[in-house]
């Protein structure tokens, strides 16, 4: 049985690497005031578009260089992580709660609850998600809460579709029938028997959704519709970098690498967790 | 059987579109502050507000407004754009071809990358090559089109500038086109100089959209191929002395493609949804780019029109995929 163990070890390495990056980025965001070498909002036109530390013309203390207003890039990335992680946790949890609940009800009960939920999901799937997000934020007004609510409103269907299918297949299993014969009520069975069995799928999706939320927030701040324009966000830095791409490539490169690592880590972390908790995979 | 299935699908499609129109209508109308405030520039007088209200029928109840708007839409009247002061349907139809061309080119790129990778992966089962393809697929899938677009801009726009990073076509060019399908028309007119310019603008946004889909195609088709390759008729072809590649291309592929088709169809609608931000990123003048401007300018009729056209596109693609599947699948055809 060398195969499965090798798979597990590879899965563990993936889990540790992804978890390690996320923990590092999260701690940096939480302790931003202690870690950030500069004030992320301080402009200094003497220091505009300084290159990163290994290049000629860099200044000590500005490790990754500065943007077109002379603001320190590393400090802005660290502070931008705050918005990214708040949106990731809050929006993904809200989407998860709504989507999983509706999916569980639709999949387990079937019948008309299922028909109503499925019809709503169909309507939601006919919207281009990015346009939907931009529209909602425009309507709610910019701000952290709007962004979180918009993402939750759009992405609950991701949970709903998967959990509905999972709950549906669980509902047909013998153990559900046995529980019913043993005298448990329908809602009791759903929460105590079916829910724990679909939980690994929920956990994996939740982690994946956090990555998606980070991207959507970046897209919204890229089109200048996220939070106030003064506060540093990864998408805002990217928008700035896209504009000065021919003068200062580093303004785009560093937030891009940060986003790549974060999104990749969230999805790998979710996969890793799922494999670890899934009894069949184990 | 198939006709019945088609009619049921058509009905669900209509209900979905109706649902989309209600949701958009409600989102815009129940927004805090009245919609007129969203439409007008700051500093408008009360008289302006009243005039505009009457003009757009906003002095009536929400239900009446929806009825008026819907009956207009059914007659092909989507209203007038507030920011551009033109017919919404005309504006949308003018931009739609650009988005369609981009999406189709992206789909072709995805098939060109994903198809061969699936065949190679299925042929090299259990080897390092297959593992390598799996890792590449995993990475391409986890990274969304927005990030691929930015990475491509750095790679082929700055580091090794061989493609254009913004616009649809070089502004100095004289365009002899009768339709908005510039790329297709340039090929038909044999104006390959224009084709080259259009491709040079379109390549990066199309590739950014294509990469996640290529990974999905490669993954699904490979799984499906592996399954088919254990079937008797494929084994027989192998015994007859065909090479493994021949067996896959001649025998396995046509039966493996069908199950993958449905999922690829759904993924294609995700790709089209992605054009909204990708067009913005590359300043490509398509429907998505116009949609973002419409939202920023709070142009309600235009937003409604664009969202509805996107929704129509999505449900139509799903319908076509579903019907193709039903027509090609012998079990459903004779069922």
What pLDDT digit, counting tens, does each position of A73-100 carry?
A: 899 999 999 999 999 999 999 999 999 9
Beta carbons of A215 and B303 less than 8 Å apart = no
Beta carbons of A249 and B28 less than 8 Å apart = no
In the CATH hierarchy, which fold is given to the domain comprising B95-289? Answer: MetI-like fold (1.10.3720)
Each residue's pLDDT tens digit, B229-284: 888 888 888 888 788 888 788 778 888 888 788 888 888 999 999 999 999 999 99
For chain A, domain boundaries: 2-51+58-277
Token look-up 């949106």 returns A87
Interatomic CA distance for residues B133 and B135, integer angstroms: 5
Q: What is the ipTM of this complex?
A: 0.89
Beta carbons of A215 and B144 less than 8 Å apart = yes
Beta carbons of A128 and B295 less than 8 Å apart = no
Interface contact B295, partner A, CB < 8 A: yes
A2-51+58-277 has CATH 1.10.3720.10 classification:
yes
Question: pLDDT tens, position by position, for chain A (282 residues)?
Answer: 344 555 556 667 888 999 999 999 999 999 989 988 888 888 887 778 888 888 887 777 777 888 888 888 899 999 999 999 999 999 999 999 999 999 999 999 989 999 999 999 999 999 889 999 988 988 888 889 999 999 999 999 999 999 999 998 888 888 888 888 887 888 888 888 888 888 888 998 999 999 999 999 999 999 887 776 678 999 999 998 888 888 888 999 999 999 999 999 999 898 888 777 765 544
Quick one: which of B151, B136, B208, B144 has its CA closest to A211?
Answer: B144
Q: Chain A: residue nearest B287 by CA?
A: A131
Beta carbons of A127 and B311 less than 8 Å apart = yes
Token look-up 């198939």 returns B2
Of A139, A238, A253, the CB nearest to B28: A139
Of B23, B153, B158, the CB nearest to A123: B23
Interface contact B248, partner A, CB < 8 A: no
Interface contact B187, partner A, CB < 8 A: no
Beta carbons of B154 and A140 less than 8 Å apart = no
CA A264 to chain centre: 10
Sorted by sequence, the CB contacts under 8 Å of residue B33 that are 6+ apart come out as none
Beta carbons of B153 and A129 less than 8 Å apart = no
Interatomic CA distance for residues B335 and B331, integer angstroms: 6
Q: Chain B: residue nearest A212 by CA?
A: B144
Mutation site for B-interface testing, chosen from A116, A128, A245 by largest number of B Cβ within 10 Å = A128
Structure tokens at A235: 């998408």
3-state helix, strand, coil in chain B (%, to 5): 75, 0, 25
Token look-up 């996640």 returns B212
Structure tokens at A36: 């950030």
Q: Chain B: residue nearest A122 by CA?
A: B16
Beta carbons of A128 and B310 less than 8 Å apart = yes
């Amino acid at each position: 049985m060398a195969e499965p163990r090798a798979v597990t070890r590879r899965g563990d390495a993936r889990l540790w690497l992804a978890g390690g990056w996320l923990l590092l980025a999260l701690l940096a965001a939480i302790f931003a005031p202690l870690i950030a070498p500069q004030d992320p909002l301080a402009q200094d036109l003497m220091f505009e578009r300084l290159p990163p530390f290994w290049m000629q013309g860099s200044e000590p203390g500005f490790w990754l260089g500065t943007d077109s207003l002379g603001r320190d890039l590393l400090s802005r990335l660290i502070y931008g992580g705050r918005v990214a992680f708040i949106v990731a946790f809050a929006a993904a949890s809200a989407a998860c709660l709504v989507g999983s609940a509706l999916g569980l009800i639709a999949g387990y009960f079937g019948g008309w609850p299922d028909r109503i939920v499925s019809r709503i999901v169909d309507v939601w799937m006919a919207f281009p998600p990015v346009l939907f997000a931009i529209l909602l934020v425009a309507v709610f007004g910019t701000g952290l809460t709007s962004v979180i609510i918009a993402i939750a409103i759009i992405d609950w269907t991701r949970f709903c579709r998967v959990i509905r299918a999972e709950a549906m297949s669980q509902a047909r299993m013998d153990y559900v029938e046995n529980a019913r014969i043993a005298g448990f009520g329908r809602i009791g069975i759903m929460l105590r028997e079916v829910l724990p069995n679909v939980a690994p799928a929920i956990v994996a999706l939740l982690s994946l959704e956090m990555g998606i939320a980070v991207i959507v927030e970046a897209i919204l701040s890229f089109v200048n519709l996220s939070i106030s324009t003064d506060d540093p966000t990864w998408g805002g830095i990217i928008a700035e970098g896209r504009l000065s791409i021919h003068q200062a490539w580093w303004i785009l490169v560093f937030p891009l690498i940060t986003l790549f690592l974060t999104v990749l880590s969230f999805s790998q972390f979710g996969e890793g967790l799922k494999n670890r908790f899934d009894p069949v995979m184990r | 059987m198939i006709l019945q299935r088609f009619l049921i699908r058509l009905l669900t499609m209509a209900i979905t579109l109706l649902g989309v129109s209600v949701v958009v209508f409600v989102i815009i109308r129940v927004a805090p502050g009245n919609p007129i405030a969203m439409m007008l520039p700051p500093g408008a007088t009360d008289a302006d507000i009243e005039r505009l209200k009457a003009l757009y029928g906003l002095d009536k109840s929400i239900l009446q407004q929806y009825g008026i708007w819907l009956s207009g839409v059914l007659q092909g009247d989507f209203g007038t754009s507030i920011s551009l002061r033109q017919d919404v349907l005309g504006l949308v139809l003018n931009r739609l071809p650009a988005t369609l061309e981009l999406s189709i080119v992206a789909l072709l790129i995805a098939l060109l990358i994903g198809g061969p990778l699936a065949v190679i992966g299925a042929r090299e089962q259990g080897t390092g090559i297959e593992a390598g393809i799996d890792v590449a697929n995993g990475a391409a899938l986890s990274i969304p089109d927005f990030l691929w677009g930015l990475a491509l801009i750095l790679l082929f726009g700055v580091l090794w500038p061989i493609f254009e990073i913004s616009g649809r076509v070089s502004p100095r060019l004289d365009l002899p086109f009768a339709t908005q399908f510039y790329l297709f028309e340039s090929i038909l007119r044999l104006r390959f100089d224009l084709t080259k310019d259009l491709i040079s603008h379109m390549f990066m946004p199309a590739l950014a959209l294509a990469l996640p889909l290529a990974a999905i195609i490669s993954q699904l088709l490979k799984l499906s191929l592996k399954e088919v390759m254990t079937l008797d008729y494929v084994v027989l072809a192998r015994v007859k002395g065909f090479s493994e590649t021949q067996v896959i291309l001649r025998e396995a592929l046509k039966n493996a493609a069908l199950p993958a088709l449905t999922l690829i169809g759904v993924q294609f609608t995700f790709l089209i949804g992605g054009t909204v931000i990708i067009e913005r990123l590359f300043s490509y003048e398509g429907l998505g780019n116009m949609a973002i401007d419409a939202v920023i300018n709070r142009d309600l009729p235009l937003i409604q029109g664009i969202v509805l056209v996107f929704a129509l596109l999505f449900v139509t693609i799903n319908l076509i995929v579903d019907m193709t599947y039903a027509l090609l699948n012998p079990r459903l055809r004779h069922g």
